[in-house]
Every structure is written in structure tokens, then in C-alpha cells.
Amino acid sequence: MFIGHFAPAFVAAAVSSDRPRLGALFVAAQLVDWGFFTLALFGIEAMRIDPKASAMVPFDLYHMPYTHSLLGSAIWAAAFLGVIAIYRRDLGMGALAGLVVLSHWLLDFVVHVPDLTLDGTPPKLGLGLWNVPWLAIPLELALTFGALALYLRRTRGPAGPPLVLAGALLLFQLVNWFAPHPTSAGPFLYLQALIAFGVLTALAAWVGENRWFRKRGGLASSAR
């Protein structure tokens, strides 16, 4: 799961009673991966390349107790909830952002081969949809672009920014699926992932700044 993680961010932005920052919700959606690749840079969590790891993703994610355990994800979610609640002075908005963070583990559970944990110790969990490409690929696309469509239906604004974001999401996902895979894990790979997250988050922030909620009668609210 890569761009599929952004589906909850779009849904949260669509259902919020007050307009949240889409960029912040994109950070929430991939927060534990931001954490994982940052910790991997310092050798705190770890992965290796193994072409046999799964049919789609050659990553053996063998040590990630602080970010991809359910307990670890919940702690990241609680921390992000607190940051957003304090910054926005809105506990409900913080709770919504925290749920987006927690959704990451649940979506990973569907696609990952068993490499997730409840608390950083065995058993390792994962339904392994990465071994079923004909199902995993349309599922990820449907989640992402279905959620984007919901967000666009609930808001109004110029068409250009969402089209650019949609194109970038599709391009990054196609590269993730079909570009030659790295032969080894290391700082270059980790920084690539962080840069990709940063680019998509910047585009999402741009989209969010140019969308307003629809109201009955077709009027739009610019409340922020």
C-alpha cells in the first residue's frame, strides 16, 4: 500500500465539519512511514531487499516495532492528535487526524505479508494481498481515486490543482509498482521515500488551499 494510504486523508477532509488542512492529513496518512524511513536512516528500524518477500514488493520489513506495530501506530496517532488539537484548538479535528494516522496500520494489515505486530513482538501479522497483484492493484487505485472523487464532490474550486495531484499520485504509484526495484536498502532508498512523501504532501497542501466546502444551494464556504 502506497497511495492507498492517502484515501483516509481525502475522506477525513471530505467529512470534516471544519475545513482541515489536506496537507496535514497527508502527513497523518503516512506519518508512520515518515517515522520508519527516518528511524531506518539511523539504524533504529530496519529492512532489507528480498525479491522473495512478496510478489509485488521486494521489501523484507523485518524490524519496525516503533512504527508498524499496532501499539506503536496508536502512540504516533495520539501524538499527532495532540499536536493538531492544540494547534487548531479543536479536539474533534485532532481526533479525526489521529484516526487517519491509525488507518495506516489497518490498510497495511490488508496488503502486507506477515511483518506487522501488535506490540513489536511476535506473532507477525498481515493478510498478504501483495501476493495477489490482480486484486491489490485495482483495490489501491479504487481506494485512492474513489476517496479523491468524494473529496472533490464535497468541495469546489479550480480543477487544475486536483488534476496535478491525481496525476502525481498515479505516476508515483506506477513507479512504485513497475520501475526496477533497488538491489539493496540504504540511505538513498530511505531518502527517496521521504522525498516522495514530501512532494505529494506539498501538492495536497496546494489543493487544500484552493478548495472550499459546498453548502446547500451550491454556495461555498471558505471557512478555514
pTM, 2 dp = 0.93
d(CA 186, CA 60): 13
Query: Which helix (DSSP H) or strand (DSSP E) does residue 144 occupy?
Result: helix 133-154
Nearest alpha carbon to residue 68 among 118, 29, 9, 27 = 118
- Output the CA–CA distances (angstroms, integers) from residue 164 to 29, 40, 60, 137, 172, in the order listed: 19, 31, 32, 21, 12
Q: Which residue has the cell 536512516?
A: 41
Instruction: Write out the chain's pLDDT in tens, 224 residues.
Output: 799 999 999 999 999 877 668 999 999 999 999 999 999 999 999 999 999 999 999 999 999 999 999 999 999 999 999 999 999 899 999 999 999 999 999 999 999 999 999 999 999 999 999 999 999 999 999 999 999 999 999 999 999 999 999 999 999 999 999 999 999 999 999 999 999 999 999 999 999 999 987 664 443 444 44
The set of cell numbers assigned to 121 is 513482538
